[in-house]
């Protein structure tokens, strides 16, 4: 059984990997806790003296359980925090130089994609907009200006493990770099009204030549 859908970026693999790291920490904690849960149940019939049963908290040596347990989990927590930190920084706090820039506008109930047009610059007169179909070149750093028109939407690219809420009145710039060609999904992850479940877009990741071709078609240079 596969746990995650196919992935199309190296960040996606790192996020999946982080999931397994956390699951590992949790797994160890589960085994210990499960033992403490089940052992008293299966030995419940054992004859014990009252002194053995009368374990009153802070006089009893078993309180060391609490400290050890909390300490072990603290170690696990720190391990998770260390592992996640560098990923978060690269994904959310840094913006590598872009090779290409586009804008995505969420509106009820579609994704408007704004391409920079033949001059390669966004927000100039020759910008071209398209609905729901996003063509991107493989292995390039892409900047996306993310916006919403009416209510909050959320750009969710499941195969890239990418998500960002988009807000009316704001532009949020994020980057992405995809390493696999193919057709992928764009979904909306924030409830946005009646048509929320119709906000489906397609992400086409294409080789350099194919992508130039698609751009020419979108710009009307080529039929």
Partner 1 sequence: MTEHKKTGFLKRFFFSLDHKDIGFQYLLTAMFMAAFGGFFVYVFRYNLAFGPDDIPLYGNLAAKEYNQLVTNHGAIMIFWVGMPMVLAVLGNFLIPIMIGTDDMAFPLLNKISYWTFLLSCIVLLSGFLMPTGAFGGGWTMYPPLSVSDFGYNNPNTTFKANFFTGNTFFLMAVALEFISMLMGGINFIVTTLNKRAKGLSLMKLPIVVWMINIASLLFMFSVGPLIAGTFMLLMDILVGTGFFDAYRGGDPILWQHLFWFFGHPEVYVLLLPSLGVVGEIFSTFSRKPFFGYKMVIFLVLIAGILSLVVWAHHQFVSGIDPGAANIFSLLTIIISIPFAGMVLAYLGTLWRGDIKFTVPMMFALGMLASFTFFGGFTGLHLGSNVFDIYAHDTYFVIAHFHYTLFPSVILGGFAAIYYWYPKFSGRKLNKTLGKIHFWGTFIFFNSIFIPLFWLGLQGQHRRIFDYSNWDKLLMQPNHIMARQIATVSLIFLIITQFIFLFNFFKSLYKGKVAEKNPWKSNTLEWQASSPPGHGNFALYPAVYRWPYDYNHPDRDTDFLPQNEK
**Which parts of 54-83 interact with partner 1 (CB under 8 A)?**
54-58, 60, 62-63, 65-66, 69-70, 73-74, 77, 80-81
Residues 13, 29, 128, 141: which binds partner 1 (CB under 8 A)? 29
Query: Taking CB within 5 to 8 Å according to partner kind, which of Cu ion, partner 1, none is near residue 120?
Result: none
Interactions with partner 1, residue window 32-51 (CB under 8 A): 33-34, 36-37, 39-41, 43-44, 48, 50-51
β-pair type (133-137, 201-206): parallel
Spatial CB neighbours of 54, under 8 Å, sequence gap ≥ 6:
none
What secondary structure, in 3-state letters, does 29-42 show? HHHHHHHHHHHHHH
Decide if residue 187 touches partner 1 (CB under 8 A).
yes
Length of the chain: 223
Q: Give me the least distance between CB of 153 and Cu ion, in Å please.
A: 5
- What is the C-alpha to C-alpha distance for residues 114 and 164, in angstroms, rounded to an integer? 17
Q: Let me know: does 128 contact 139? Beta carbons within 8 Å.
A: no
Residues forming beta bridges with residue 148, ordered by sequence position: 106, 168
Q: Give me the least distance between CB of 33 and Cu ion, in Å please.
A: 22
Decide if residue 98 touches partner 1 (CB under 8 A).
no
> Which window, 85-93, 111-119, 123-131, 213-221, contacts partner 1 (CB under 8 A)?
85-93
């Amino acid at each position: 059984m596969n746990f995650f859908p196919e992935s199309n970026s190296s960040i996606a693999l790192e996020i999946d990997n982080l999931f397994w790291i956390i699951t590992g920490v949790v797994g160890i904690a589960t085994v210990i806790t499960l033992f403490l849960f089940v052992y008293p149940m299966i030995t419940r019939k054992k004859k014990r003296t009252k002194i053995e049963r009368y374990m009153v908290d802070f006089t009893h040596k078993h309180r060391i359980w609490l400290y050890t347990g909390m300490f072990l989990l603290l170690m696990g927590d720190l391990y998770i925090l260390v592992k996640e930190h560098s990923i978060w920084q690269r994904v959310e706090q840094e913006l590598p130089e872009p090779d290409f820039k586009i804008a995505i506008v969420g509106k009820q109930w579609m994704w408007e994609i704004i391409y920079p047009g033949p001059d390669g610059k966004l927000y100039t007169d020759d910008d071209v907009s398209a609905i729901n179909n996003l063509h991107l070149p493989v292995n390039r750093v892409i900047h996306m200006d993310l916006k919403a028109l009416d209510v909050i939407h959320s750009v969710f690219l499941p195969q890239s493990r990418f998500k960002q809420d988009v807000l009316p009145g704001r532009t949020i710039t994020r980057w992405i770099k995809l390493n696999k060609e193919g057709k992928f999904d764009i979904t909306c992850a924030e409830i946005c009204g009646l048509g929320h479940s119709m906000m489906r877009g397609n992400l086409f990741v294409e080789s350099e030549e194919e992508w130039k071709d698609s751009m020419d078609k979108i710009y009307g240079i080529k039929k």
